[in-house]
Structure 1
Amino acid sequence: MTSEHLRFRTLLYRFIFFDWLFQDVGGARTPIERHAATQHNRRMSKYLPVYLRRWSFLTVLDFALGCLVERALQATLLSAWFFTWTCITATGTVVITVAWIFLTQPQQP
């Protein structure tokens, strides 16, 4: 399916989440399939820094909105919502970073 036929929700999902780029190594039945999936995932790891930048931007944006809402509007519940999303997106950046580090390491014999 070309990108012009994809729905907006699908494009937004693919813009934010990266799991659609990778293959499940655990679902491979043979060593050859497992090796092919691993090699595919290693090739696709070159896109992880792009997602890391996006998630880092979301982390900073959520934190800034939390600070702004807390200082300017004195809305503690709304600011807590933004700070909670800051924690979630910061966790996402850690996951992306760890995946990128492990996938870009040289293969072990």
Structure 2
Amino acid sequence: MQEVSFWTLLYRYFFFDWLFQDAGRGDAFQRAAAWRHNREQARWLPLYLWRWVCLGLMLYGLGSYFEVLLELPELSSFFYVPASLSVPVSAVIAAAWIGLKALPRPL
């Protein structure tokens, strides 16, 4: 078995694109199989959403700690910016999960 590097594992921990297949390529059977595969893999999206929400809250808490308690507003921006970027990532994950679970198979 091939050993996976730490950076690959870290990427896979936070980003989910490696779980899914392109449902827009191939003939009708391949697209249908990719859609079924993607719907099955959508079960992992709430876990990724939870990771991003926790990461955003943790970074926001660290930013608040540095800004309020340590009175270092310049340093707090290094935590607030990634915390704010976790919001759109969470929205994309939620939209993908709802779309894969609620929408019918494309024709």
TM-score (norm 1): 0.88
The answer to whether residue 51 in structure 2 is matched with residue 54 in structure 1 is yes
Q: Which residue of 2 is the match for residue 66 of structure 1?
A: 63
Deviation per CA, 1:5-43, whole angstroms, max 9, x where unpaired? 1111111111111110011223x1322222111111100
Runs of 5+ in structure 2 lacking a partner? Answer: none
Q: Which residue of 1 is the match for residue 88 of structure 2?
A: 91
Q: Which residue of 2 is the match for residue 24 of structure 1?
A: 22
**CA–CA distance in 2 between the matches of 1:84 and 1:106?**
33
Number of residue pairs aligned between Structure 1 and Structure 2 = 106
Q: Which residue of 2 is the match for residue 14 of structure 1?
A: 12
Question: RMSD between aligned alpha carbons?
Answer: 1.6
The answer to whether residue 42 in structure 2 is matched with residue 42 in structure 1 is no
Secondary structure in 2 matching 1:25? coil
Identity across the alignment (%): 40
Query: Post-superposition, which runs of at least 4 consecutive aligned residues in structure 1 deviate over 6 A?
Result: none
